[in-house]
Amino acid sequence: MTTARPSSSPAARAREVLAGLPGRAADRLRQAWVRIALDGVVAVVAFLVAQLLLRQATPIFAPIAAVVCLTDSAEKRGLRAARLLLGVVAGVAVGELARLVIGSGWLQVGAAVVVGMLVVSLGSINPLALLQSGIAALLVVGIGSSQAGWSRLASAIIGGVIALVVSQVLVTPSPVRRFTDAASTALRGIADGLDDVAGALRAASGGDPDAADAARRAAERLRSGHADVAAVLDTRDTSQHLARSTVRGRRERSTLAAVTGRLAGLEYVHAGAVLLARTAADVAERGDTVPTELVDGVADLAGVVRSLAEHPREADPVAGSGRSRDAHGVAESLARTDPDAWPGGPARLATQLHLLAEDVDALTDPPRSQTVG
């Protein structure tokens, strides 16, 4: 009996990993360079403003506070700034009280840090708030001067305010674009999978013995798109938060509400496409003859979903695209057929396709299946 050889040796896998490092590093750099450049610019602005307002030669805590506030995603920066200021205020207050009551020294420093963090923990156990409270208390007690604590508080306020003005007013990502980009990625994956299903069904009708395997691969491809659908749901939440917390988001709030409402059923389309692909694999495995209208229906739905992916902001991207049928047309055509006249496999396929067509049609606004007159 022969044993299966591993696909590659550890050395070969290590070479593959090393060969991919430059590409992955370049991808990370492309994703991060804008935020890094913004951090650098804001740090300089915070430093200069603090110099002007506080009359200090090196107000280092202002740019530190600004960069700390900008390290999180845009929808979380306001909360991050609030936590930073909460920690600094509590730390300065505790440090001042400790300096007056117990004085300065190595033991007093430890006590002030502990008490400052305990005070902040009553309202928040976020690491940033705890860290800032401990550092502020340490500065006041360790240096033995109230000027250090109040200077840090003023610098933190200046840095935090500048970071918020830049991130929430001047340089804010579009919540609509963020959501539609995520939706386009998910819809494009569904469209590709449906194209694969249509191709597998055509192959099955032509007697191709590999058609069932092709349909199973299509089902697996569609199933793997679950992460993209989950990303749409996550992005919807963050985009709605941006719409509430930023100036640009408030301007786009109505558009975002319309787009998220219209695409709310995207996860149902994904689930329906997976079920359709699995049914197609069963039909191909059994060798049933698939009616041409079902194959064409799958291909038409793939085209509709692709149009939605290319133009997610449009209420009806299929209109005027030159397509002979939209999702409602596919659903209507299937509703007029009699699945009982077909064998069991194609009948189940027709039912799944009809349900999927209804779900895809619901992504238009208004759904043509609900149009009156």
Could you say which of 125, 144, 170 is where a domain stops? Answer: 170
| 143 shares a domain with 96 | yes
Same domain, 227 and 161: no
Of the three residues 129, 148, 170, the one that is the final residue of a domain is 170
Q: Is the pLDDT of residue 69 over 90?
A: no
For residue 29, being part of any structural domain is answered with: no
Structural Rg of the chain based on CA atoms: 30
The confidence score (pLDDT) of residue 92 equals 83
**pLDDT one-digit tens code per residue, 169-221:** 887 888 999 999 999 999 999 999 999 999 888 888 777 778 888 888 988 99
Give the residue numbers spanning the domain of 190: 175-370
150, 236: one domain:
no
The amino acid that residue 320 corresponds to is G
The 3-state secondary structure of 68-109 reads HHHCCCHHHHHHHHHHHHHHHHHHHHHHHHHHHHHCCCHHHH
Lowest mean pLDDT among 74-88, 168-182, 248-262: 74-88
CATH code (residue 182) = 1.20.58
pLDDT exceeds cutoff 80 at 21: no
32 versus 49: which is more confidently predicted?
Answer: 49
Q: Which two tokens stand for residue 22?
A: 């430059």
Residue range 333-349: average pLDDT? Answer: 72
303, 305, 311, 314: CA torsion to nearest 10: 110
Residue, of 79 and 197, whose pLDDT is higher: 197
Please report the beta strands in 46-189, taking only residues with DSSP state E, as ranges in sequence order: none
Q: Is the alpha carbon torsion for 253, 255, 258, 259 positive or negative?
A: negative
pLDDT in tens, 265-274: 899 999 999 9
Do 261 and 197 share a structural domain? yes
**135 and 198 share a domain?**
no
Q: What share of the chain is helix, strand, coil (3-state, %, to 5)?
A: 80, 0, 20
Number of structural domains found in the chain: 2
Residue 160 maps to a domain = yes
Domain-ending residue, one of 133, 155, 170: 170
The least confident of 41-55, 181-195, 280-294 is 280-294
Q: Could you tell me what percent of the chain has a pLDDT over 90?
A: 17
For residue 235 the two structure tokens come to 């992005």
Residues 140 and 181 in one domain: no
Q: Within this chain, do residues 315 and 215 fall inside the same structural domain, yes or no?
A: yes
Tokens of 191: 């469209």
Contact of 309 with 332, CB cutoff 8 Å = no
Rounded distance, CA 234 to CA 251, Å?
21
Amino acid 268: pLDDT: 92
Q: From CA 150, how far away is CA 171, in angstroms rounded? A: 30
Which segment of 135-139, 191-195, 237-241 scores lowest on mean pLDDT? 135-139
Mean pLDDT within 115-134: 86
Q: Is residue 8 part of a domain?
A: no
Distance CA 256, CA 302 (A): 25
